[in-house]
Amino acid sequence: MIETVRMAEMSWPEFAERVKHDPVVFVPCGAFEQHGPHLPLSVDILLPTGVCEAVAQRTQGMVAPALNYGYKSMPKTGGGPHFPGTLNLDGATLSASVRDIVRELYRHEIRKICFIVGHYENQWFVTEGIDLAMRELGPSALRVMRLEYWDFFPPELTDKVFPGTHPGIMLEHAAIMETSCMMHLHPELVRVDLIPDNPPADFPPYDVWPAHKEWVPSSGALTSAKAATAEKGRLMMEHYARAIAEAAQGEFG
């Protein structure tokens, strides 16, 4: 039997045994948000969970249960809250949840934690939660990392993944990267016949409240996802696993 990396599949004695080896605990930070007509609402949970599991396998780490809700979907990065099914947390709720998770893992002798964010809008609230926990714990042996997995996108894959006219990673919501990674990790959840092919959104350099729904392509994808393939997903996911494992090993030893 292959040892699981998922804490959710361990009994308490198994967890306690693993903790003795001072593992890194990876925490996927997701969101429940629309991802076009072709992808499920859980993409931002499933992708960082997949990254965490692959990295944990390479580093003898463990994966904590994912945060399934995230900070508010913004029109320019996630399409916005007006799409049916998008469920958001207030920033303070998310920060408090992250703070509590750090505190709880620390109480159980975990000293290395890595938050892997899969939803752009989460990043500062996850940062705040980690910082509140560090302040509360005071000087300790605890070390924490936080990262957005797409920041590890390798420039050498740009031409291979994004066709010439594609605006690239800035408008990557429900587009080529997320669709390809889902085709690789969870092909059964991708409605291939519904993959959108709309032109890129053209956003001004500011936000407004109430949001202008007409800024956002009606599909919910911020640009065409037509060029997505499972092979691109495999290349990206393998690179993320390798590069993030290397970064975690560099920090945590």
Based on CB atoms, which residue is closest to Zn ion, 19 or 81?
A: 81
Q: Which of 148, 172, 178, 184 is catalytic?
A: 178
Q: Would you give the distance in Å from CA 237 to the centre of its chain?
A: 12
Give the one residue of 25, 32, 44, 61 binding Zn ion; rule: CB under 5 A: 44
Q: Provide the minimum distance between the beta carbon of 116 and Zn ion in the complex, in angstroms, as a whole number.
A: 13
Least Å distance, CB 182 to Zn ion, is 10
* Closest of 179, 196, 168 to residue 230, by C-alpha: 179
| 19 touches 212 (CB < 8 A) | no
Q: Name the minimum Å distance from CB 33 to Zn ion.
A: 6
Q: Please tell me which residue in 44, 53, 148, 172 is annotated as part of the active site.
A: 44
Q: How far apart are CA 210 and CA 65, in angstroms?
A: 34
Q: Is 246 a catalytic residue?
A: no
Residue 173: active-site member:
yes
Closest CA to 115 of 138, 75, 146: 146
82 included as an active-site residue: no
Catalytic, 44? Answer: yes
Residue-wise DSSP of 121-188: GGHHHHHHHHHHHHHHH-S-S-EEEEEEGGGG--GGGHHHHS-TT---GGG-SSSHHHHHHHHHH-GG
Residue nearest to Zn ion (CB): 44
- The catalytic position among 14, 17, 22, 35 is 35
Shortest spacing between CB 31 and Zn ion, in angstroms? 7
Strand intervals (E) in the chain: 24-29, 62-63, 70-71, 88-89, 112-117, 143-148
Residues in Cβ contact with 93 at an 8 Å cutoff, skipping those fewer than 6 apart: none
Q: How far is the CB of 242 from Zn ion (least distance, A)?
A: 22
- Interface with Zn ion (CB under 5 A), residue total 2
Q: Given 33, 53, 148, 172, which residue is catalytic?
A: 33
Q: Which is nearer to Zn ion, 44 or 148 (CB)?
A: 44
State which of positions 110-149 bind Zn ion (CB under 5 A): none
- 121 as an active site residue: the answer is yes
Q: Is 239 a catalytic residue?
A: no
212 a catalytic residue: no
**Cβ distance to Zn ion smaller for residue 61 or 70:** 70
d(C-alpha 17, C-alpha 2), whole Å = 16
Grouping H, G, I as helix, E, B as strand and the rest as coil, residue 209 is coil
CB distance 58 to 245 below 8 Å: yes
Q: Which of 38, 119, 166, 184 is catalytic?
A: 119
Task: Kindly list the catalytic residues.
Answer: 33, 35, 44, 119, 121, 173, 178
Binding residues for Zn ion, per CB under 5 A?
43-44
